[in-house]
Structure 1
Amino acid sequence: MKKVNIETTLYVYDNLKELPKDVVLLMEQAIEAREKAYAPYSQFHVGTALLLDNNEVITGSNQENASYPSGLCAERTAIYYAGAKYPNAKIVRMAITAGSKLKTTSEPIPPCGACRQAIAEYEIKQNTPIEIYFMGETGKIGKSNSLANLLPLVFDKSSL
């Protein structure tokens, strides 16, 4: 048996004021997208904004369905739209914000596992890391320089 240690690095900002101005603007677009979420069942609203290398910004919000598996998270809504509309563009940066209508979310909320896998697919496809910023409604903001920090043991096409 061999022991394997996996390390990851995340950065945490205390609030939006600590972020670079261009990241604040992207997070503001994610916040606006969060307000457009359709989440009548969970009351958990998520918004995402992607900055592409062609300077386009794509937003997405979570869309629920009474048949739960039929809904789609904000991150995947934005990523798949970006892939459909700008198939050759690279995702440079992603801003994610999540909030509950039932309580205040003040801790950084990272992407779910399914979204991490979708982000991984695009990061591998474009062969360039994607900066990911994530937060609740208020408070601290987490930053990862690459999806690899959030999903260190990635499942990709080399496993097939």
Structure 2
Amino acid sequence: MKEYQKITHTNTLQVIPWNDLDAKRKDLIQLATKAVDLAYAPYSNFRVGAAVVLENGQTFWANNQENICFPVGICAERLLLGYTHANHPDQKPEILAIVAKKADNSGLATVTPCGLCRQSISEYEMKFKKPIEILMYRPDGTVLQADGIDALLPFKFEDLNQ
């Protein structure tokens, strides 16, 4: 068989114990946890909360908002980033925390941003020319940490068109 050029992308997430997080990251995850319980998810009952800290230190949170017409709903991450950018367009998002609860209410779920959210995060990284740290809280109390969207979205549109 003929040998072709290969393009390789290595992804890395860190698993960080809760006690090793600094106060800023713990506070952000706790805000996202608070947001989970206020999510509007009457159809899937899968609730997601997100919190962000901007470069000026301001924090904001949001949650998923469902609609009976499923494509009309919006994820916590996109709602949060859209709101913060609309109201603070010059402030870079520095850290984004995500927490989710299982649909059966049996506890927390490990969740990563969906594809739409990943591309949205990528847009803000391109705009501000800086990666956004992403923290994903896990049921065992540890946190998955991505240094930027590259760890979750290899071969982005912009990567392959340079």
Name the TM-score, length of structure 1 as normaliser: 0.91
The equivalent of 2:126 in structure 1 is 124
Q: Distance in 1 between matches of 2:19 and 2:38?
A: 24
State the identity as a percent.
Answer: 36
The equivalent of 1:153 in structure 2 is 155
Opposite residue 24 of structure 1, the aligned amino acid is: K
Opposite residue 99 of structure 2, the aligned amino acid is: T
In the TM superposition, residue 52 of structure 1 has moved relative to its aligned partner by 0.2
The equivalent of 2:107 in structure 1 is 104
Number of aligned residue pairs: 157
Structure 2 unpaired stretches of 5+: none
The equivalent of 1:45 in structure 2 is 47
- Would the aligned equivalents of 1:45 and 1:62 in 2 still touch at CA under 8 Å? yes
In the TM superposition, residue 137 of structure 1 has moved relative to its aligned partner by 4.7
The equivalent of 1:6 in structure 2 is 9
Q: Distance in 2 between matches of 1:3 and 1:156?
A: 18
- Residue-by-residue CA offset, 1:3-48 (whole Å, 9 max, x unaligned): 222101110124x223111100010001111111000111100000
What SS is found at the alignment partner of 1:84?
helix
- Residue-by-residue CA offset, 1:30-88 (whole Å, 9 max, x unaligned): 11111110001111000000000111111110000000000000000100000100011
Name whichever of 136-145 and 86-95 sits farther off: 136-145
Q: Distance in 2 between matches of 1:7 and 1:80?
A: 29
What pairs up with 1:3-152 in 2 under 5 angstroms? 3-14=6-17, 16-102=18-104, 103-106=106-109, 108-152=110-154
Opposite residue 144 of structure 1, the aligned amino acid is: A
Opposite residue 17 of structure 1, the aligned amino acid is: N
Q: Distance in 2 between matches of 1:156 and 1:112?
A: 18
- The structure number with the bigger radius of gyration is 2
**CA 1:132–1:4: 2 relative to 1, 3 Å:** same
Opposite residue 123 of structure 1, the aligned amino acid is: E
**CA 1:5–1:156: 2 relative to 1, 3 Å:** closer
- Residue-by-residue CA offset, 1:96-144 (whole Å, 9 max, x unaligned): 00111403335x3111111000000000100011100012455331000
Q: Distance in 1 between matches of 2:132 and 2:82?
A: 15
Q: Distance in 1 between matches of 2:79 and 2:41?
A: 14
- Would the aligned equivalents of 1:99 and 1:136 in 2 still touch at CA under 8 Å? no
